[in-house]
Copies of this chain bind each other. A is one copy, B any other.
Amino acid sequence: MIRLTGVSKEYAGRVVVQELDLEVGRGELVCLVGPSGCGKSTTLKMINRLVEPTTGVIEIEGRDVTHADPVKLRRGIGYVIQQIGLFPHQRITTNVMTVPLLYGESKATARARAHELLSLVGLDPEQYGERYPHQLSGGQRQRVGVARALAADPPVLLMDEPFGAVDPVVRRRLQEEFRRLQQELGKTVVLVTHDIDEAVLLGDRVAVFAEGGRLLQYATPAELLARPVNEEVATFVGAERGLRRLSVTRIDHEHLEPVDGIKAAELASTVAVGATLEEALALMLRNDRAMVGVTDGPRFVGVLTPAGVHRALRRSLRP
């Protein structure tokens, strides 16, 4: 559990983070979004004391980090730096092995772990492990950075735009894999991004910052899209937020129409209750049908029509 209380940071009198209160539950993935220069990276770095706050208290698992030995503190926190920061003089495998070796693990163990993690981020250790960082593309380097941060299996992960340099197709794949991984491993993650779509996709909660380091809203993605607290957040979240909600709104019994009188053939493809509206709509378009069957476990519970989708969307927007 990470808790920031009244944290501010000034650089030469200029406020960069302002009176920030933020709590990240154990196992939770929180995304920080906001325009460039709004203090996202600074906030992240205060958590592992790469930057010292001007005022305020930061606790991890109830312990004030300002009283912790920074070197020990950081070993328990994985950190993916925005500029990637691989060690140019070490091969890819060695880069990933660094932290386990710092911990005093054996070379063999560290190497096995490194290979495992490289595979995880989609880089074949055979093919890439013995290269130097400059022999990789920007996106590949960034994935190595993520693998390196995961290598020591730290309970807390800080990630600063971890997928920024990856091209869109691979990014989408990595995001999905990372989401699965995170749910599996249950790490506490703070992830910085300026891509609202990424934040909505990955975050359990999303913190929206404004210029000058003000926290505008801290809420679940659904909440954020449905009820931005002010015009500023609404603009940032985007004009398409209504449509973006398709991907976060889940199908509920009340959106459905009864299953009676519908031919079995028309139900050929179904989605489960709890799937997103986006999935349902995509299925309708794919099948060129104006409806899709919805199942709850083994049984049909109703059908969803375009009107139902719309109804669900409208409902989700209401306060």
Contact = CB atoms under 8 A, between A and B. Distances in A.
A278 B242 CA distance: 10
Contact of A284 (B281, B284, B288, B310): B310
Interface in A270-288: 278, 281-282, 284-286, 288
A109 interface: no
A311 B282 contact: no
Given A168-B196, A310-B290, A313-B285, A278 B240 contact: yes
Interface string A232-257: 00011011101100100000000000
A243 to B, nearest CB: 6
A102 to B, nearest CB: 32
Contacts of A155: none
Contacts of A172: 238-239
Contacts of A108: none
A195 interface: yes
A310 B88 CA distance: 52
Nearest to A165: B36
11 contacts: A35-B167, A168-B236, A169-B236, A242-B281, A243-B278, A284-B314, A285-B310, A285-B313, A290-B311, A290-B314, A306-B306
Closest 8 CB pairs of A and B: A306-B310, A242-B285, A306-B306, A35-B167, A36-B167, A306-B307, A242-B282, A288-B314
A200 to B, nearest CB: 13
**Which size class do A's interface residues fall under?**
35 or more
Interface in A136-164: 137-139
A98 interface: no
Contacts of A194: 167-168
A313 B282 CA distance: 11
Nearest to A306: B310
A266 to B, nearest CB: 15
Contact of A305 (B37, B239, B246, B307): B307
Contacts of A30: none
A296 to B, nearest CB: 23
A169 B167 CA distance: 20
A263 interface: no
Nearest to A315: B288
Interface in A50-101: none
Interface string A197-215: 0000000000000000000
A268 to B, nearest CB: 16
A299 interface: no
A120 interface: no
A278 B137 CA distance: 36
Given A194-B168, A278-B243, A306-B306, A139 B36 contact: yes
